Amino acid sequence: MRKNTVRDVAVAGRRVFVRVDFNVPLDQGRITDDHRITASLPTIAYLGEHGAMPVLASHLGRPKGVDDALRMDPIARRLEELLHRPVRKLDDCVGPSVEPVIGAMRPGEIVLLENLRFHPGEEANDPAFARALARPVQLYVNDAFGTAHRAHASTVGVPSLVPAVAGFLMERELTYLGKVLEAPTRPLVVILGGKKVDDKIGVIRNLLRLTQTMLIGGGMCYTFLRAAGGRIGSSLCDEERLGLARDLMAEADRRGVRLLLPLDVVVAQRPASDAPVRVVDAREIPDGWMGLDIGPRTVAAFGAPITAAGTILWNGPMGVFELSPFAAGTRAIAQAVAESCAESIVGGGDTASAVEQLGLADKITHVSTGGGATLEFMEGKVLPGVAALQDAA
């Protein structure tokens, strides 16, 4: 799925609408993780160095109308620090206060629009709002893979009105995630975690066609353990998906895929930093106790296929890694993936945060910036924001 990129079009002297994903976590106006900002710097720098006029646009949070706590001002300040150049932040993203400023831009100048979601037309993909966004620009670049699964005005409306290509981050996401689906170096090992089976059903089904080994941890593993006849105490369990879990395990068996569940788990009576913990057999969790991380035997069992892998795809932590008593499993798997000689792709969201926090991101081949977008892509779905971009010749 190759798309034209900023390299394939003339950018000099053009006002370029760049859809970025600057939806970063904030703590009282302070950015606590700027990975999504730094990930788009190569595209922004390229446009500036080649005489373009980048107009950066993003959403931030889930505002219902204008919300002063979700304005883009902290993003503009961080961008200036990272780019070592001025970034002009506007107080709106469309209208008479915006268009003259964009029209007067000079090559190399950078403008950051206000939060797109302050306008209901963004999520509604309102044609009038899309036209207002597109009116002052001559080219569209999407560098926001994390929003590519949303058919919003800034992801599908604007690119229907002006020539639309991918940025370098979007290109990188499509290259690495696409390779997993199309031509992975084998053996392909898929590691899935997180809380909900429901979030991963499509991913599991699609990847069972491709993988040789699937490792399942996190909160979702207890539904599979229960479906396989295990006792899981008060662990998280999706009762409505027990039959589906049995079907997926049977499908893995038919396809000759090794689907490995935890052998042992770390349990507590509540998910808290000060809770007493025990390590027990994963299929014999006592009543009143809940599984909150994979145990040391499981780490060893999962480590063997990770070490032998040609390609690793990992989405979802192995436990409640935010709490120190239940972080060891995720940390051990992250270390094994980082030390592997395989091409490693880590899915977005909590998994990306985990490898960043552990200081291992630079040892991973690709850390995706997508959460839901990554999952939908791995299901084999067509993402609207990707489909809107020009196909490469």
- On whether both 192 and 156 belong to a single domain, the answer is no
For residue 161, being part of any structural domain is answered with yes
Q: Which domain holds residue 21?
A: 6-171
Taking residues 221-225, report their average pLDDT: 97
**In whole numbers, what is the pLDDT of the chain averaged over residues?**
95
% of the chain residues with pLDDT over 90: 91
pLDDT tops 90 at residue 319: yes
The DSSP H or E segment spanning 79 is helix 73-83
Q: Where does the pLDDT of residue 349 fall: very low under 50, low under 70, confident under 90, or very high at 90 and above?
A: confident
pLDDT at 340: 96
Taking residues 74-103, report their average pLDDT: 97
What are the C-alpha distances in Å from 253 to residues 18, 155, 183, 194?
46, 40, 23, 23
Per the residue annotation, which of 15, 36, 172, 241 is the catalytic one?
Answer: 36
- On whether both 265 and 373 belong to a single domain, the answer is yes
For residue 76, being part of any structural domain is answered with yes
- On whether both 292 and 163 belong to a single domain, the answer is no
For residue 361, being part of any structural domain is answered with yes
Provide the number of structural domains found in the chain.
2
Contact 374, 177 (CB under 8 A): yes
For residue 259, being part of any structural domain is answered with yes
- On whether both 244 and 334 belong to a single domain, the answer is yes
For residue 52, being part of any structural domain is answered with yes
Per the residue annotation, which of 205, 310, 372, 381 is the catalytic one?
Answer: 372
- On whether both 199 and 290 belong to a single domain, the answer is yes
What is the CATH number for 58?
3.40.50.1260
Bond into 54 cis (ω within 30): no
For residue 385, being part of any structural domain is answered with no
- On whether both 215 and 285 belong to a single domain, the answer is yes
Per the residue annotation, which of 193, 349, 370, 385 is the catalytic one?
Answer: 349
Q: Which residues are annotated as a binding site for ATP?
A: 200, 291, 322, 348-351
For residue 384, being part of any structural domain is answered with no
Q: Which of 171, 193, 210 is the last residue of a domain?
A: 171
Contact 190, 333 (CB under 8 A): no
- On whether both 87 and 198 belong to a single domain, the answer is no
pLDDT tops 90 at residue 71: yes
pLDDT tops 70 at residue 1: no
Percent of the chain as helix, strand, coil, to the nearest 5: 40, 20, 40
36 is catalytic: yes
349 is catalytic: yes
Q: Which of 149, 171, 193 is the last residue of a domain?
A: 171
Q: Which residues are annotated as a binding site?
A: 21-23, 36, 59-62, 117, 150, 200, 291, 322, 348-351
- On whether both 147 and 219 belong to a single domain, the answer is no
pLDDT one-digit tens code per residue, 229-271: 999 999 999 999 999 999 999 999 999 999 999 999 999 999 9
Structure tokens at 169: 């981050």
pLDDT at 197: 84
pLDDT one-digit tens code per residue, 143-195: 999 999 999 999 999 999 999 999 999 999 999 999 999 999 999 999 999 88
- On whether both 144 and 114 belong to a single domain, the answer is yes
- On whether both 130 and 224 belong to a single domain, the answer is no
For residue 383, being part of any structural domain is answered with no
Q: Which of 171, 202, 228 is the last residue of a domain?
A: 171
- On whether both 237 and 282 belong to a single domain, the answer is yes
Taking residues 328-343, report their average pLDDT: 96
- On whether both 326 and 355 belong to a single domain, the answer is yes
